[in-house]
Amino acid sequence: MKLLLKNCHIIDRDKDLFADILIENGKIKAIGEIFEECDEIIDINNKIVMPGFIDLHTHFRYPGQENKEDLHTGSLSALAGGYTSCNLMGNTKPVVDNNEIYNQIIDKSKEIDLINIYQCMATTKDLKSIEMINFEKADNNIKFFSEDGKGITDSLLAFNIFTEIEKINKGIMVHAEDHNLTKISTRYAEDLETIRDCYLSLKTGCRVHFCHVSTIDSLEAIKFYKEKNAPITCEVTPHHIYMKDSDFRVNPSIRTQEDIDCIIKMIKNNTVDAIATDHAPHTKDDKDKGACGMIGLETAFNIAYKVLHEENDISLNKISELMSYNPAKILGENKGVINPTYDADLVIIDINKEIKVGKFNSKSNNCPFIGEKFRGSIEMTIVNGKVKFEKGAKNDNR
């Protein structure tokens, strides 16, 4: 199967050029001025083509909470936002703490065949932070383990988990929150556990990825330990760079302008590795009862473009690095740039078209940005060389 994309404005972490892209058997075969007979030719009309976005931190609620989201609607939501890969968290019902549930999710995602799905496994049985799972028996395809949604407050347990994960050369995604401090200060809770886990990463050699970092002191700690060569990476969310002093319930809490300014500084100096959505669908009833989280896949690029590019003069190359290249590198996947031999996961964006946030492909609409306008319309998403989303087509539920 050959697909030729004509007249592309290619932007990735190190390119900004006009060229054609030849795709064959799910891989990028060539870039340049291409005249070749193909099964399909699509004229991009000089719109921006970027590597498909990769979300390191997503909740699709399968199994057990399909009233909020499922693998199909979550994948549609991802495609509508330009995402070609999502790394799912394990706080499902039942919890992903064994290979049977892990394989159930992976097999179902392959059957749906919309985006690339990765699945985290819990670090303790039933996410109770008491008994560790048997890491050595975990499926070898797992990239990361995570106690997502809760921090590992017990330091001895955290040390033992880090040690066991390092033995099998995997990584842990950390939701940094010391629950002994949460009611006193969510800031203290995040900062104290971030500092501890940076130290444990340095001492155990365990690869640690910090989810949704939101405070000045946590970012400063990560920068300090990165400079000591601790094997750590971190992400920030779109909502933590856009919202300030808001009581919209997310975890960690929305912070201050000073925290946002620090995040922008840490993006510019490469301390922040990735933007990840923490896409967390809820029913209206659950949200009204105080559930933490918001959907984010379908607005992530727009917010990044507005805050980083329009307001802070950060290049689209850097945004591509944060949303594609670095997440691919963290997952160890051959994605994230537009080069021959790389996976043909691409997103086409009309940067001159304005969108108004409203209807979603997600089952949920717990989004505080409804009614707001942003630049940048996701026109098409290609996964493994196949067009999986086209705006306005049957696979766009909006």
Which residues are the active-site residues?
278
293-323 pLDDT tens trace: 999 999 999 999 999 999 999 999 999 999 9
39-81 pLDDT tens trace: 999 999 999 999 999 999 999 999 999 999 999 999 999 999 9
- Report the Cα–Cα distance between both ends of the chain, in Å, rounded: 30
Residue 11 and residue 214: Cα distance in Å, rounded?
28
- Residue 135, both tokens: 């890491």
pTM exceeding 0.95: yes
Kindly list the distances between the CA atom of residue 261 and the CA atoms of 47, 60, 225, 381, in Å, as whole numbers in the listed order: 31, 31, 20, 32
1 exposure class (CB count in 10 Å sphere: 0-12, 13-18, 19+): exposed
325-381 pLDDT tens trace: 999 999 999 999 999 999 999 999 999 999 999 999 999 999 999 999 999 999 999
Asked if residue 147 has pLDDT above 90, the reply is yes
Residue 386 has a CB neighbour count (10 Å cut-off) of 15
Residue 340 has a CB neighbour count (10 Å cut-off) of 11
Residue 204 and residue 56: Cα distance in Å, rounded?
23
Q: Residue 398: its pLDDT value, please?
A: 57
- Residue 47, both tokens: 């719109």
- Residue 277, both tokens: 């959505």
The average pLDDT across 198-227 equals 98
Cβ 240 vs Cβ 212: under 8 Å: yes
